[in-house]
Structure 1
């Protein structure tokens, strides 16, 4: 997947029909436990219909956690938006945290540029990166939720 010590992956999926907030809370608590063991951090956006999740950590941890993601019955239609590598975590404070967002916010993050998970600029235009969209959506939650879960 990647050759650097820190890998990342972003994907979107469709939530299981009838999935409740309490069920999402339970899913996140379970994911947080497994992520801590694997050295993975990340954030999950949900608009009630779709998920968008970003995970970062060591390659073996990402592979283990993403295999769990792919086997989950709490969602379907998984689409990998991007994979990357780097040396700095973008969400080091959360082993997993979910943020309720509007359909518009989730869509804007999903259609942003995920081809590179590192910041880049085109000479002709500023490229809106998916990870930058996530950072904007997560920022209001950092004041209250800055401790690892």
Structure 2
């Protein structure tokens, strides 16, 4: 199993509707290709961890690189894992109406930091996710 971690910048600030559409579309596309992971969004910055078989991960990331909704993609880390850290694809972001997203499959509230402690603490993705949530004021 391979993983890839990247950050990017959105070309515009996403609305709650934009984020909901992104979550819905990503869950559908990723499930078709055996891709799991997590994406966090805050004030124009995306942080994403993708997990999957090498070929599907490469195909998925190529599509991501050509997505016109963001730019400045930087790969932070790649590697292999013995098992998935994120068996369900999910997305966390701050929103003006968090209650309306709480029932949406795959949504995690990054303000509730306990979501990050359920994972393998030795994995680079977890450490980077923790840093991203703390540095982007997800924790109140």
Query: What is the TM-score with the length of structure 2 in the denominator?
Result: 0.68
Unaligned runs of 5+ in 2: 95-109, 111-120, 134-140
Q: Aligned-residue CA RMSD in angstroms?
A: 2.5
Structure 1 stretches (4+) deviating beyond 3 angstroms? none
Are 1:39 and 1:57, in contact at CA under 8 Å, matched by a contact in 2? yes
Instruction: Return the offset for 1:16.
Output: 1.8
Partner of 2:18: 23
2:119 is equivalent to residue 119 of structure 1: no
Are 2:41 and 2:93, in contact at CA under 8 Å, matched by a contact in 1? yes
Match of 1:100 among 93, 97, 115: 93
Instruction: Return the offset for 1:135.
Output: 6.6
Distance across 1 between alignment mates of 2:35 and 2:57:
7
Instruction: Return the offset for 1:132.
Output: 3.1
Distance across 1 between alignment mates of 2:125 and 2:80:
14
Match of 2:83 among 84, 88, 97: 88
Distance across 2 between alignment mates of 1:37 and 1:59:
15
- Deviation per CA, 1:52-99: give whole Å up to 9, x if none: 0000011111011101110101111000001011211000022xx211
> 3-state SS of the aligned residue for 1:92?
coil
2:44 is equivalent to residue 44 of structure 1: no
Unaligned runs of 5+ in 1: 1-5, 106-117, 121-128, 138-149
Distance across 1 between alignment mates of 2:7 and 2:46:
5
Distance across 1 between alignment mates of 2:81 and 2:125:
15
Distance across 1 between alignment mates of 2:128 and 2:58:
24
Q: 1:21 to 1:91 in 2, by over 3 A?
A: same
Count of aligned positions: 108
